[in-house]
Structure 1
């Protein structure tokens, strides 16, 4: 098997992204705030538009991880466009296809994207959140230097069940 490659997704990746996004909502519905029922009804162009909207090289947008040119995972990096928060970014929507898990691909994505944010965009802090019940994600983020800074109690309600949202941060630049 060839080495995985990571690159920003563009409109040309719309079909691949759509396939993987819908898979993520079926395989791990508890991990995302949207649902398969909602997104499967969207027109194909909505997925292309979403990639275009998020695309801000070199460090912002959806990053895809590819094995032999097949998209097998993604992670979104976004920024706040308020000038007083130009030093922070957020990560969202991490997903690795079920067939490609337990190979370190999620770790490669997290490391690649946080390094780009620090080196190319001058980001000092990266925020993310995950559901409290998603201990696999929580442990992965802790392994990569994120620490818990708060909890939004009962922030998620799905199928009449509540879950908390755990807020996390990673400091990319140590300062005063």
Structure 2
């Protein structure tokens, strides 16, 4: 398994994996397949343009992209000390091999290297026990639960918000 930051030339593979995730697990994403299916590849390339303090990490097995996780950072000055994880997805046939753990490890390593970044947040579907357990194993703690946070089809899902301090400076 190879974990690295994605670059614009990975846009086609990233878009295909993300769309598969949006279709298979709509309850796990704030976006939807319908919203992203017609995005031009150029828009996806822009999303993958690396910034020093943010980016999308990919897990590759035999050069095939099988998992992704984004690290973002708030851009407004008063919130620039906050980073966030987003868009975690690992293909079903690649689960159970530590890919999610490796992706979180890589994202947190980048986050910890950033001056002024004090903590990382994330939102996760309250029913996703495996993801919650993974995040807890890194030290994330639950700081809130939003009932009916997201509409999926005709139903609603609760979200749990989690927090991890990474710096005391």
- Relative to the length of structure 1, the TM-score reads 0.87
**How is 1:96-115 mapped onto 2 (pairs within 5 angstroms)?**
96-115=90-109
Matched, 1:83 2:77: yes
1:8 aligns with one of 5, 9, 14: 5
Unmatched runs of 5 consecutive residues or more in structure 1: none
Distance in 2 between residues matched to 1:23 and 1:50, nearest whole Å:
18
CA RMSD of aligned residues (A): 1.7
2:34 is matched with: 37
- Match of 1:112, SS? helix
Instruction: Please give the TM-score of this superposition, normalised by the length of structure 2.
Output: 0.90
SS in 1 for 2:48: helix
How far, CA to CA, are the matches of 1:23 and 1:46 in structure 2? 18
CA distance in 2 between partners of 1:56 and 1:45 (Å) = 17
Alignment of 1:146 onto 2:140: yes
Match of 2:149 among 149, 155, 158: 155
Which segments of 5 or more consecutive residues in structure 2 lack a partner in the other structure? none
SS at match of 1:127: strand
Asked if residue 136 in structure 1 is aligned to residue 125 in structure 2, the reply is: no
Report how far residue 122 of structure 1 moved. 4.6
1:48 corresponds, among 25, 45, 48, to 45
Give the superposition deviation at 1:37: 2.6
